[in-house]
Amino acid sequence: MASTPPAGAVAPVDGGPRTDLLGLPLAALEAALQPLAVERFRARQIYQAIHQRGARTFAEMTELGKALRGELERRHVIALPRIDTLERSLDGTRKYLFTLADGATVETVDIPDRGRHTLCLSSQAGCALACAFCVTGYWGAGRNLSPGEIVGQVHAVRFDDPPVGASLNLVFMGMGEPFLNLDAVRGALDILLEFVSHRRVTVSTAGVIPGIEAMAAWPRRPNLAVSLHAPDDERRSAIMPINRTYPLADLLAALRGYPLERGRRVTYEYILIRGFNDALRDADALVRLLRGMPAKVNLIPTNPDAVLGERMTPPEPAVVEAFHRRLLDHGMTSTVRRRRGDDVSAACGQLRAHGRAPRGFRRSNLSL
């Protein structure tokens, strides 16, 4: 029986898969090209053609000789994901469904805002964490993405028609938990941070403490966002099973030790669910929880979706505003996330993995 090809492997040639160059930093790309005796300046040309010009094929690299282009084509590939569908929201948001080399699918969202684009990236083809407010978790776990598959999402959107240009923010808030695929996320960032400032990149976690501790040691750290969503363990565990592994006391202890440059904060994301965690006493409890920490609270009225059922309903706008105002009155930095792309299921918590049968959520103690 044939073995299963690794993630990102494509188009077997001469008995083996071609090497994908998309996820290789320059030094690794130079090493991959050594069998072709490619000079270092030529390797840099290839690297720049891929990441600065968005070259999709070696044939486009006309600065290279024809013979070298032919050898590159025979041995290597630039494995950009295939755009399966592209949905456009009335507010300008674009949601891409990408099919990867092995048939796995992920969704990526492009959110335009006054000339700048925020790309919401996926790090896994699914998610095992089963948060009750997130559609991705409804279908369950999927495999980790490779560095090239993460970089490929950016390039496929960045160089699409029309291209979005270099004015980018990148947020790892799509499908999957980035800190359960940290090596690939860091490998992708080694490339992406060459053209996007680390201050314009945000990695969001449901609270995987080993990942937080690992990123704390990086010499250049992107922004950190933590999905909090409840001010106590009982309710957080009801909607986020990961809290049973990494409860609030341990999570906050790790975050108190997280290094932050002057003027930077950790963002705490807080989904507002009607009648569950949206009372003024919950706002007061949230303030007590985060007191003394450099924090920004991003309030997100939950986005309804048919697979989540009626229990996931956003509060009335007046309730959201009262919660927000309570945080501000306590001196906290707080914002309310604008809903973008919800008419094409591209808003927070609505990304899904097509082509798999629904699993449904594990039973919890959530009652609304």
For the chain, the domains span 18-77, 100-344
- Is position 131 annotated as part of the catalytic site? no
Phi-psi region of 129 (alpha: psi -120 to 50; beta: other; left: phi over 0): alpha
194 noted as active-site residue: no
Global confidence as pTM? 0.91
Q: Please report the sign of the dihedral spanned by the C-alpha atoms of residue 338, residue 344, residue 348, residue 349.
A: positive
The predicted-structure confidence for 136-194, as pLDDT tens digits, reads as follows 988 888 899 999 999 999 999 999 987 787 689 999 999 999 999 999 999 999 999 99
Q: Which is the catalytic residue, given 30, 107, 177, 269?
A: 107
What integer pLDDT is reported at residue 355 of this predicted model?
Answer: 57
Q: What is the pLDDT of residue 2?
A: 35
221-256: pLDDT as tens digits = 999 999 999 999 999 999 999 999 999 999 999 999
| 253 burial level (CB within 10 Å; 0-12, 13-18, 19+) | exposed
Using DSSP's 3-state secondary structure scheme, residue 266 falls into: strand
Within 10 A of 363 (CB to CB), how many other CB atoms are there? 6
Architecture of domain 100-344: Alpha-Beta Barrel (3.20)
- Helix (H) or strand (E) holding 329, with range, is helix 317-329
Intrachain domains 18-77 and 100-344 with the same fold = no
Strand partners, 85: 97
DSSP 147-163: HHHHHHHHHHHHTSSS-
- Helices 147-158 and 182-192 sit at what angle, rounded to 10 degrees? 40
Who's near 252: CB < 8 A, 6+ residues apart? 289, 293
Q: How far apart are CA 249 and CA 20, in angstroms?
A: 42
CA separation for the pair 127, 194 (Å, rounded): 28
Are the C-beta atoms of residues 88 and 111 closer than 8 Å to each other? no
3-state secondary structure at position 102? coil
Please, which residues have CB within 8 angstroms of residue 101's CB and are 6 or more apart in sequence?
A: 5, 7, 8, 9, 10, 79
Whether 367 shows a pLDDT value over 50: the answer reads no
**18-77 topology per CATH:** DNA polymerase; domain 1 (1.10.150)
DSSP string, 34-81: GGGT--HHHHHHHHHHHHTS---SGGG-TTS-HHHHHHHHHHEE--PP
Contacts of 190 (CB under 8 A, 6+ apart): 25, 147
Buried/exposed code over 101-125 (b: 16+ C-beta within 10 A; e: otherwise): beebbbbbbbbeeeeebbbbbbbbb
Per-residue pLDDT reduced to its tens digit, 44-92 = 999 999 999 999 999 999 999 999 999 999 999 999 999 999 999 999 9
pLDDT at residue 362, as a whole number = 47
pLDDT tens per residue, range 79-128: 999 999 999 999 999 999 999 999 999 999 999 998 899 999 999 999 99
Q: What is the DSSP letter of 198?
A: G
Stronger pLDDT, 248 or 349, i.e. the higher one: 248
- Active-site residue, selected from the candidate residues 120, 127, 134, 348: 348
Please work out, in degrees rounded to the nearest 5, the angle formed at the alpha carbon of residue 174 by the alpha carbons of 173 and 179. Answer: 60
